[in-house]
């Protein structure tokens, strides 16, 4: 007899015996091996003995072995997508019922996966190349850019776009801008940005200081948004350090104008090149480039995407005494669903379905999945116009780790290439799509 719970064992059978001469005495004996959870194997033996001592025996075996996992009750949806500004809901009260033990304890664990906000920060945003118009231009009539250097390396205005950058704000009024930008005309040269800011204040504070102040709105698109901006002063020690062909170059940068008439401004239309949520400001630079002293001025301009760049995994597990376990994991992600107006982030998000299909017509897109990835991932892209496309993978220090595609690609066709990450260390990497007219970069996490 095989059952899972001791309560399922039926009552002992009634055994009879007959003898040819006399009455019979029936006795029973049990041999049991039980573990700490009540699982056991029991052998029950019945012996019939007559008056003359003649005896016969018969046995049967009962095995009690719980192999059924508990059942979880009150589970939430397996996946939940929140709008960027939504609060994360409290975990569901999940219970568990076991077939042998009844109601048992449920263990809960929550893990954050991906790029977590900086500790103690009030906002942690991806600093992106500002979104341009249908021609890929910002309101100044230039190609989109994140960093502009005037009179540098023989160019009146050298333009650079974001590879990876972050804007982080803290409650004490300080902020940091860090990341990597690449030349709009040469993918083998660029700068690492390391800037700290201080004295962040609102318009009421900025406009009532003991010296003249204003706000920068070259494109006349700010409207009344400047009243809601935050204004910062660039701290001493800010630098641009070169990578690639610029390796070895260091530019020390300082707040401009030096009389602090303009601050580094953050808010809707504050980047001074479009109407998105972002930040921007002037600076001056001086340093050594190609063994020569250089100096000049420059601009920062970024769109800020403050939508959380991490996911939440919530796992509920119940284990019975016999070690049977059942678990359930809910994954919570964030996206700009258009439900709430941006409080600390701009730009409309793309639906996952749209990304999976390669985007709509006449738009260049690139995406990677799964993300985070373990040993293998896929990069998909479409081009707005037929062109030679180059897809590469970089480490955060600018080192190329993989060439995935370098060939002609037809407009509005979905291309998929495989990325083998088995030999790469765990960390954040950048995948970049380069054509004659565009450079698009995004992040992928390798998590073994």
User: What is the rounded average pLDDT of the residues 176-198?
Assistant: 94
Residue 362 pLDDT? 66
Fold agreement between 68-112+312-335 and 358-448: yes
Banded model confidence at residue 356, pLDDT cuts 50, 70, 90 = very low
Q: How many other CB atoms sit within 10 Å of the CB of residue 170?
A: 17
Residue 316 pLDDT? 97
pLDDT tens-digit map of 159-169: 999 999 999 99
170 has a pLDDT exceeding 80: yes
The DSSP result for 377-390, as a single string, is EEEEEEBSS-EEEE
Least confidently predicted of 58-72, 181-195, 258-272, 397-411? 397-411
Query: Among the CATH numbers 3.10.450, 1.10.150, 1.10.3210, 3.30.310, which is that of 2-64?
Result: 3.10.450
Residue 223 pLDDT? 93
Least confidently predicted of 169-183, 323-337, 340-354? 340-354
- What residues does each domain of the chain span? 2-64, 68-112+312-335, 123-305, 358-448
pLDDT tens-digit map of 358-369: 334 568 889 888
Q: How would you label 109-137 residue by residue, b for 16+ Cβ within 10 Å and e otherwise?
A: eeeeebeebeeebebbbbbbbbbbeeeee
Pick from 332, 239, 320: nearest CA to 286? 239
More confident residue, 147 or 438: 147
Separation between Cα atoms, residue 389 and residue 222, nearest integer Å: 36
Average pLDDT score over the chain:
89
Banded model confidence at residue 302, pLDDT cuts 50, 70, 90 = very high
3-state class (DSSP) for residue 161: strand
3-state per-residue secondary structure call for 167-194: EEECCCCCEEEEEEEEECCCCCEEEEEE
Banded model confidence at residue 428, pLDDT cuts 50, 70, 90 = confident
3-state class (DSSP) for residue 410: coil
Banded model confidence at residue 444, pLDDT cuts 50, 70, 90 = confident
Dihedral, 132, 133, 137, 138 alpha carbons, nearest 10: -60
Percent of residues, the chain, with pLDDT higher than 70: 94
Residue 374 pLDDT? 76
pLDDT tens-digit map of 93-110: 999 999 999 999 999 999
Separation between Cα atoms, residue 202 and residue 208, nearest integer Å: 10
Separation between Cα atoms, residue 193 and residue 280, nearest integer Å: 13
Least confidently predicted of 27-36, 129-138, 246-255, 263-272? 129-138
Q: Tell me whether residue 7 is exposed, middle or buried, using C-beta atoms within 10 angstroms of its C-beta: 0 to 12, 13 to 18, 19 or more.
A: exposed
User: What is the rounded average pLDDT of the residues 318-346?
Assistant: 78
- Please name the residue that has the structure tokens 């920068």: 216
Residue 351 pLDDT? 32
Residue 343 pLDDT? 44
Under 8 Å between Cβ of 159 and 130:
no
Least confidently predicted of 18-22, 68-72, 80-84, 342-346? 342-346
Residue 448 pLDDT? 65
CATH of domain 358-448: 2.60.40.1930
pTM across the whole model:
0.61
Topology of the domain covering 68-112+312-335: Immunoglobulin-like (2.60.40)
Residue 69 pLDDT? 96
pLDDT tens-digit map of 212-258: 999 999 889 899 999 999 999 999 999 999 999 999 999 999 999 99
Least confidently predicted of 70-79, 403-412, 421-430? 421-430
Separation between Cα atoms, residue 410 and residue 43, nearest integer Å: 76
Residue 336 pLDDT? 76
């Amino acid at each position: 007899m095989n059952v899972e719970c001791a309560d399922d064992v039926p009552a002992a059978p009634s055994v009879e015996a007959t003898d040819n001469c006399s009455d019979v005495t029936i006795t029973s004996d049990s041999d049991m091996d039980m573990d700490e959870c009540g699982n056991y194997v029991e052998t029950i033996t019945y012996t019939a003995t007559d008056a003359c001592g003649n005896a016969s025996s018969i046995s049967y075996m009962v095995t009690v072995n719980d192999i059924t996992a508990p059942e979880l009750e009150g589970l939430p949806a397996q996946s939940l997508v929140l709008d960027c500004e939504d609060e994360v809901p409290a975990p569901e009260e999940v219970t568990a019922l076991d077939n042998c033990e009844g109601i048992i304890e449920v263990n809960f664990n929550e893990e954050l996966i991906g790029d977590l906000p900086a500790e103690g920060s009030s906002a942690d945003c991806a600093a992106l190349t500002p979104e341009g118009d249908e021609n890929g231009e910002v309101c100044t009539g230039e190609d989109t850019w994140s960093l502009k250097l005037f009179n540098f390396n023989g160019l009146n205005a050298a333009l650079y776009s974001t590879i990876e950058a972050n804007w982080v704000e803290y409650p004490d009024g300080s902020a940091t801008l860090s990341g990597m930008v690449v030349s709009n005309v040469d993918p083998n040269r660029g700068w690492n940005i390391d800037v700290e800011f201080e004295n962040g204040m609102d318009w009421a504070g900025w406009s009532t200081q003991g010296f003249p102040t204003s706000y920068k709105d070259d494109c006349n698109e700010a409207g009344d948004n400047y009243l809601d901006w935050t204004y910062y002063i660039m701290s001493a020690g800010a630098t641009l350090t070169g990578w690639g062909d610029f390796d070895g170059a260091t530019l020390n940068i300082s707040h401009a104008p030096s009389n602090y008439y303009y601050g580094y401004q953050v808010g809707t239309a504050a980047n001074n090149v479009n109407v998105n949520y972002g930040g921007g400001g002037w600076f001056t630079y001086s340093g050594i480039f190609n063994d020569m002293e250089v100096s000049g001025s420059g601009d920062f301009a970024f769109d800020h995407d403050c939508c959380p760049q991490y996911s939440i995994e919530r796992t509920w597990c119940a284990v019975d005494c016999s070690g049977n376990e059942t678990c359930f994991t809910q994954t919570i992600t964030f996206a700009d669903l258009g439900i709430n107006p941006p409080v600390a982030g701009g730009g409309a998000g793309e639906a996952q379905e749209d990304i999976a299909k390669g985007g709509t017509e006449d738009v260049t897109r690139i995406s990677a999945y799964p993300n985070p990835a373990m040993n293998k991932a896929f990069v998909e892209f479409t081009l707005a116009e037929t062109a030679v496309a180059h897809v590469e993978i970089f480490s955060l220090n600018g080192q190329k780790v993989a060439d995935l595609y370098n060939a002609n690609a037809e407009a509005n066709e979905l291309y998929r290439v495989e990325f083998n990450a088995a030999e790469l260390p765990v960390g954040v990497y950048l995948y970049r799509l380069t054509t004659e007219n565009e450079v698009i970069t995004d992040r992928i996490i390798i998590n073994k």
